Structure 1
């Protein structure tokens, strides 16, 4: 069911049809930036307030840390997961540079992990969600989003068809962006099949749309339910 982002799927489909066309490069970048702006707090793009602002503006710290049902995660985990993946893929695989996450961010966030959180158990997700500093989590995601926008503005039509490199994937593994667990390691294989356009169409856009839709659903459930599967 649709809880977030009316019209964004259609925008994403249109982006998919033009993103690798040489004569549409600048238009595709503008379209990406419009889509990306709708997936981050408005402070990231400087645009008017959006659904992400609405989602987060009145969440209590407690609500970030609830699993409504057995098939869900927490909003805190989702925000970390999508920010971490965007940081890794955009900074290392697209820009051929570095991640933003470092020891100082880890300290400020007050978390025990450096990876995307794909392989965490329910118990580990709950403990992670309990520990993480929500204000710093939002700040990290905002910083990642702003850097993504800067990267995309520099891309050329040639860049869009550039394949993800083995050294880039090796770097992500070396720095702990993924773990050796099966539920985490598969990400490297998934990304290895992409070009830059393919990365832009998934981690910082489609992937985020799906997870934010979940978060909007969970927010509704949290405020309707009297009991939850897990909470702190």
Structure 2
């Protein structure tokens, strides 16, 4: 069921249609940035108040750590997960630079992990959600979003068909962006099959759309139910 992002799927399909066309590069970049702006707090793109603002604006700290059902995660986990994946893929795989996340960020966030959180158990998700410093988590995601926008603005048409290189994937592994657990390391194989356009179409856009939709659904449950699977 749709809880977030009316019209974004259609815009994403259009982006998919034009992103590899050399004569559409500026149009594709503009469309990417339009979609991306709606997936982050409005402050990172200086745009009007949006659905992500609405999601975050009145959440209390406890609600970031609620797991509504056994099939769900938490909003804190989602924000960590999508921010880490966007940072890793855009900074390292697309730009060929260092990720934003470093020891200083780990300390400020009070993070027990450095990877994307894909392989965490329910207990580990709850523990992460309760120990992360939410204000710093949002700050980290904002900085990741700003960097993504800078990276995309500098892309050229030839970049879109460039394949993800093995040494960049190795860098993600060496820096703890993924773990050796099966539910984590598969990401490297998934990303290895992408070109730069394919990365833009998934981690910083489609992937985020799906997770933010979950968060909006969970928030609705927070305001209507009294008991949850874990909190």
Same fold, TM exceeding 0.5? yes
How far the C-alpha of 1:223 sits from its partner, in A, is 1.1
1:1-80 equivalences under 5 Å are 1-80=1-80
What is the RMSD computed on CA atoms of the aligned residues?
Answer: 0.3
Mapped pair 1:141 → 2:141: yes
Secondary structure in structure 2 of the residue aligned to 1:111: coil
1:152-171 equivalences under 5 Å are 152-171=152-171
Please give the alpha-carbon distance, in whole angstroms, between the structure 2 residues aligned to 1:3 and 1:98. Answer: 35
Number of residues of Structure 1 aligned to a counterpart in Structure 2: 231
1:90-109 equivalences under 5 Å are 90-109=90-109
How far the C-alpha of 1:222 sits from its partner, in A, is 1.1
How far the C-alpha of 1:76 sits from its partner, in A, is 0.2
Please give the alpha-carbon distance, in whole angstroms, between the structure 1 residues aligned to 2:223 and 2:179. Answer: 35
Please give the alpha-carbon distance, in whole angstroms, between the structure 1 residues aligned to 2:41 and 2:19. Answer: 24
Please give the alpha-carbon distance, in whole angstroms, between the structure 1 residues aligned to 2:21 and 2:161. Answer: 10
Scaled by the length of structure 2, the TM-score of the pair is 1.00
Please give the alpha-carbon distance, in whole angstroms, between the structure 1 residues aligned to 2:194 and 2:7. Answer: 25
How far the C-alpha of 1:226 sits from its partner, in A, is 1.1
How far the C-alpha of 1:190 sits from its partner, in A, is 0.2
Moved over 3 A (4+): none
How far the C-alpha of 1:74 sits from its partner, in A, is 0.2
Residues 124-158 of structure 1 show CA distances to partners (whole Å, capped at 9, x for unaligned) of 00000010000000000000000000000000000
Mapped pair 1:190 → 2:190: yes
Scaled by the length of structure 1, the TM-score of the pair is 0.99
Gaps of 5+ in 1: none
How far the C-alpha of 1:212 sits from its partner, in A, is 0.1
Gaps of 5+ in 2: none
Residues 26-71 of structure 1 show CA distances to partners (whole Å, capped at 9, x for unaligned) of 0000000000000000001000010000000000000011001110
Please give the alpha-carbon distance, in whole angstroms, between the structure 1 residues aligned to 2:67 and 2:217. Answer: 12
Please give the alpha-carbon distance, in whole angstroms, between the structure 2 residues aligned to 1:227 and 1:42. Answer: 32
Please give the alpha-carbon distance, in whole angstroms, between the structure 1 residues aligned to 2:104 and 2:92. Answer: 19
Please give the alpha-carbon distance, in whole angstroms, between the structure 1 residues aligned to 2:137 and 2:152. Answer: 23
